[in-house]
Each structure stands twice: as structure tokens, then as C-alpha cells.
Amino acid sequence: MISFFKMKKRASVEVTIRFILPILLIWIAAETRLLAQEPRFESEIKAYEAKAVDDPPVPGSTFFVGSSTWRLWRPTLEEDFNQFSPVNRGFGGATIPDVVRVMDRIILPYRPARVVFSCGGNDLANGDEPETVVKNFKTFLARLWQANPLAEVYFVSNRHSPARQKFRKQGDRFNQEIKKLAGKLDGLYYIDVVPLTDDQDGKGRSELFLADGLHLNREGQQLWIPVISAALEERDRSQMKQTVADLYRKRVSAGIFPKSDTVKYPQQKLNIVFIGNSITAGAGLKDRQTEAPPVLATAYLKQQAGINEVVFSNQGVGGFTTVDFLPATNKAFGKVAQAAETFRKETGQLVFSIILGTNDSAMQGPNGAPVSPESYRANLKTIADTLLKANPGCKLVIHRPIWYSPTTYNRSKYLQEGLDRLQTYFPEIDALIASYGATHPGQVKLGDTQGFNYFKTHYLTDFQHENGQQGTFFLHPNEKGAATLGLFWGEAIRKAVLK
């Protein structure tokens, strides 16, 4: 009898195991798949990251940040707001915590001057209370302003869409709180678009929305364009930039930063000697005194980095190589040393911004060309060693040379061979800077690395169209390109000096 019950119990256990085990295995497999799944919107974020490699956003651009309002605006958003250097960073279905989670990857590294923000509607539709959404928006502001205190944020109000009428009251409360917050803060501006798409009853006009009743159609977008543009233009005209210290105090008062937070204030003055070739000198530009890249780099440092005073000396010389800047050749280095000596007598940080290599890479023509990668590094080291010895405490920022077309052949011969050689200089720059990390900590920094790919993508719009022995070639930035290059240099100098 006992053995019978034991047998029956064992059989019951076996049946149970046979029944439960497949379910357990399915559950484990499902959990494994969930764990292996990418975070929300990861494919869109990776696509933005990949695009930023081939086509880097220019520092000081206007980023359109948020959810599907901007994502579905592609591809006309860039055309509609062209005068503000727009960069679309919208991804569909995003909430504000989603934006905060990825901003280190797709927003902060590119240091936008302005952020046009449209997000929060999905948060409310998901059940979040307006107060929670406001709190999350403050988190976004804090993260942005910790990295870039002078960035301006333009909050586009939560609209009344036909598909979300039941969330209308929550949306209005959210809007009211952000509007009040904007009244307390310099750097946050409220753009009210609700009246543009509402009917007399305060409901979204269906003819301005897509069939989903949620997203604007082209007619609705066109109502927004002049209102957003006017807000951005008004700030441009006013030019009322506050100091970082003033902004910080108001942000603590408004609850964006806790009182215990610390803030880094920029250097009060920079003295910069720009060392380079015809690109640095501003060859082909109508007015080098106002259009050459060093001019725009210093303007960026004043306006977007908040540095009180920046003075510079442009020591760019057309056709020159690293060989020409060697102290022993007695060609260009003497003027560099003279400029540095003048700056040493003044207050402020002395910085040398160096970009050489274009002429070194030529097949024939410039002095010493073609310069091998090893010789290029040795020449740069000689120049850097001499500057460091003569100017204790100075900083050197060495930028990568920018792209030129493989058809480049003027008085000197570059072509594809030269372009290939130019790119072999990049690891030499990296290795040289790494070596100074041990001997001169914090003094020699890598400068701009994004200009090469930017100009490779935008050569038709940002380069002068020049005629050479193999047809049209692209070597020197035009007015637009020189301004863009100045922004890349300015941001690289800011990172090198202020961090």
C-alpha cells in the first residue's frame, strides 16, 4: 500500500514536471529575448550617431529635440529653418525621460546654441501627471545647462490634437507650468502654438492634422514655421547674453540646480596664436579680417563659451608646410614667436592653435613635400617642443587637417595620392599628443577631428570652386565654410582650455 502511494506520487511529480518544464523553458527564453532587446528607440539613436560621423553637426547649431513632431517633419525641417543651422533630433513616441536618457549621445557632444523642444505629450498620454512631466523637463534643462550653460531652450507648447482631447486639461496645466518657469529663467523661452491649430471651441482643427488626428500635416507645419522662426530671430536681434554666474543664480532659484551644485566659470581671457597655411590665412575670401576662420573661432569662444575676452594673431601663411614652420628654417616661426612674446606680456591664457599638413601631403610643389608621416610627426614635435619651452604654462591645440578634393592640382600637385597621405597624418597627431600626456600633462590637446568629414560631405556648398590642371577642385573654404571651420576650431579650443 505504501509503495503504491509512493509510485502514484512519483508519477504525479513526473507529470507535473513534464507539464511545467516546457512552460518554464518558454518563459526563460522569453526573458532572455527581452534582456537581449535593445533599449527603446535604439535603432533611431544609432542612426543619428552614424550620421554625425559622416556629417558632423556644426557647434552652435539649433537642435530640434523631442518626439514625432520633429521626426515626421523630415526632410523639410532643415529647409524650413535653414537660417538657424537646424539639426533634427526627434524620435517617434519619445517621452522626456527617453530624451534625457540619450542626450549624452545625440545632443550634448555637439554643443547646440539653441534647442527647440517639443516633448511631453506622450508622457501625459501614458498617464503621467503634469507635475511629473515638468519635473522631468527640469531634469533635461539641468543636464543641458551643466554641459552648456549658455544654450537657449525654446519650449514649443503642447498642442490640442483631435486624437488626444481627453488629455487637454493636463496639457494646459503642463503648458502653464512651463510658461511660468520660462518667466523666471533667462535661457528658457515659451512658444505658444496652441492658438494656431485650435478651433473656436479650443479643440484641434482636424484639417491641420494627419489621418491619425495626432500629428501635424504640411498645412499645420506651415502655421508653426513663422512663429518659431520669429522667436528665434527675436533672440538673435536682442543679443542679451547673460554671464554664466548670473544664469546659474537664477537657475538655482528656479529649482533647476540645487544650491550645493558647483559651476565651472570660463577663463576670463584667452590669447590665441593661430598657426597654419592658406586655409588659416583665409585665402580667396573677400575680407580676411572679418571672414577668416580664426575670426569666427574667437567670436564663437566669446558668444557660445562665455569667455569675456579673446584676442588672437593669425599666423597662417599660404603654401607653408611643417618644414616652413620649423625654427631652424627661419621662415615663419619668428613671427609666431614674436606674437607669443607680445601675448606673454598680457594677462590671460596663451594658446597655440595649430593646423598643418595640407601642403605637407602634396605630391610636389610645397617646401619638403611630400612629407612622410614620420617626418610630419617629427616636425610637429620640434615646433611644439620649442613653443612649450619658450612659453611655460601655454596650451597647444593641434587640429586634424581638413579634406580636399582628389582633383586638387593648382601650382602644387595633390590629387588622390596626396589626400591618402594626408589621412596618414591623423594617427601621428594622436600619438604625438599621447606622448605629451606624460611629459606635459594637460598642455597639448587634440583639437578638431570633425572638420575632415564635414567638408567631405559639404564641399559643394562650403568650398570655393577653383579651376586647376585637372578641372574643378576644392581646397579652400568659402565664406560659409570658413565660418563653419571657425566654429569647429572654437569648440575644440574651448574643450582643450576649459576642461
Nearest one of 140, 219, 153, 211 to 185, comparing CA atoms: 153
Rounded CA separation 30/20 (Å): 15
Return all residues near 442 (Cβ < 8 A) that are at least 6 apart: 395
For position 289, what pLDDT does the model report? Answer: 95
> How far is residue 292's CA from residue 303's CA, in Å, rounded to a whole number?
17
Q: 373-390 and 333-344 are packed helices; what angle lies between their axes, rounded to 10 degrees?
A: 30
Distances (CA, A) of 195 to 154, 157, 224: 17, 10, 10
H or E segment to which residue 114 belongs: strand 114-118
What sign has the CA pseudo-torsion 293, 104, 107, 306? negative
Distance between CA atoms of residues 278 and 281, nearest Å: 5
Is the CB of residue 333 less than 8 Å from the CB of residue 273?
A: no
Rounding to the nearest 10 degrees, give the CA dihedral for residues 247, 251, 257, 260: 70
In contact, 305 and 494? CB cutoff 8 Å: yes
> Could you give the CA distance from residue 185 to residue 152 in angstroms, rounded to a whole number?
10
Distances from the Cα of 412 to the Cαs of 325, 364, 407, 415, 421, in angstroms?
19, 6, 11, 10, 15
The predicted-structure confidence for 369-386, as pLDDT tens digits, reads as follows 999 999 999 999 999 999
Distance CA 431, CA 13 (A): 67
Report how far Cα 247 is from the mean position of its chain's Cα atoms.
22
Look up residue 308 and give its three cell numbers.
569675456
3-state secondary structure 132-169: HHHHHHHHHHHHHHHHCCCCEEEEECCCCCHHHHHHHH
DSSP run (H or E) holding 398: strand 395-398
- 111 CB-near residues (< 8 Å, 6+ apart): 59, 60, 147, 148, 151, 304, 491
42-253 against 269-498: fold identical: yes
Query: Rounded CA gap, 85 and 104, in Å?
Result: 20
Contact 379, 371 (CB under 8 A): yes
- Cα separation, 302 vs 337, whole angstroms: 25
Task: Provide the residue ranges of all domains of the chain, joining segments of one domain with +.
Answer: 42-253, 269-498
Fold designation for 42-253? Rossmann fold (3.40.50)
d(CA 63, CA 87): 5
CA atoms of 430 and 369, how far apart (whole Å): 21
User: How many other C-beta atoms are found inside a 10 Å radius of the C-beta of residue 325?
Assistant: 25
Instruction: Give tens-digit pLDDT for 318-358.
Output: 999 999 999 999 899 999 999 999 999 989 999 999 999 99
Residues of the chain with pLDDT under 70: 1-37, 236-242, 261-265, 267, 499
Structure confidence at residue 18 (pLDDT): 55
pLDDT attached to residue 15: 46
Name 64's bridge partners: 88, 116
pLDDT at 391: 97
pTM of the model: 0.89
Alpha-carbon distance of 251 to 131, in angstroms, equals 18
For domain 269-498, the CATH superfamily is SGNH hydrolase (3.40.50.1110)
Q: Which of these, 289, 302, 322, 307, lies nearest to 482 by C-alpha position?
A: 289
**Pairing assessment for the beta strands 152-156 and 269-276 based on DSSP bridges:** unpaired
Distance CA 281, CA 309 (A): 22
Q: Which value, to the nearest 10 degrees, does the dihedral of the CA atoms of residues 199, 202, 204, 206 take?
A: -40
